[in-house]
Amino acid sequence: MISLAPAKTLEMYGLDKTPLTEYMTEWIGHISTSQAITQWSLYFNGNTVNTAMGAGTLYLVIFTIKSLLNDMPGLFGFSAVGQYVFLLINAFCGHQLLYNKKYAPEISKFYPIWGLMNALSFIIAPETMGKKWGVEGAEPNALVTYEMKQTGFVLATKAVYLLSLGLGIDTTKALGYGNIPALIGMVLTNFVSKEIGNFGMDSNQQWIWLLLKVFVVGSLAF
């Protein structure tokens, strides 16, 4: 739903809708969908870890091509170079993994580590990442910064999950480990920085998601 209806998602959570926040929310949705494709391929289609990771990775190629064809970088005033790099890395890594090519064993570890490094950039320096995305004050900066952090935690969730799989960790535990960054993100934004309250978001929804994450991590990771 997040990737298909980003504006509706923002509305459901009581957040301001702007072209940039809609685009960022859609991106978050596609990252989550990418992970879901990997999980589905692994658990229900009986594919190998590499093939499942490749399927999820190649999905992101579609969204990136869509973004470039619609000149989203030009719309928001940020360089398209990063998206072309993102496209090439995902296309190459996805192809290698999907068909278990020569470099697949190395990529199954390199790709998640690369994703985790990106995730940490969004989490630790959201304002800097915002500037790289062309945020010059026309958008609500506090909300954009929050969305940057959320993007980081979603990326970290996927990266930890994929890295766990690449390291040969049991698929169930990998899913539990992958949800730890999401749980940390919810705790930080709800109780430490308390950013959630700044945007008038429904606290009941946050508690439901928080309890769900605690249950998933507690039951699968340990």
DSSP state of 191: I
pTM of the model: 0.90
200 phi/psi in degrees, rounded to 5? 70, 30
Biggest CA-to-CA distance, the chain: 50
Domain ranges of the chain: 6-170
Q: What Cα–Cα distance (Å) separates residue 7 from each residue in 71, 74, 120, 193, 199? A: 19, 20, 26, 25, 16
Return per-residue pLDDT of the chain as tens, 222 residues.
788 888 888 888 777 788 888 888 899 999 999 999 999 999 888 899 999 999 999 999 999 999 999 999 888 888 788 889 999 999 999 999 999 999 999 999 999 999 999 999 999 988 887 777 665 544 446 777 888 899 999 999 999 999 999 999 999 999 999 999 999 999 998 888 877 777 767 677 788 889 999 999 999 998
3-state SS class at 136: coil
DSSP 16: P
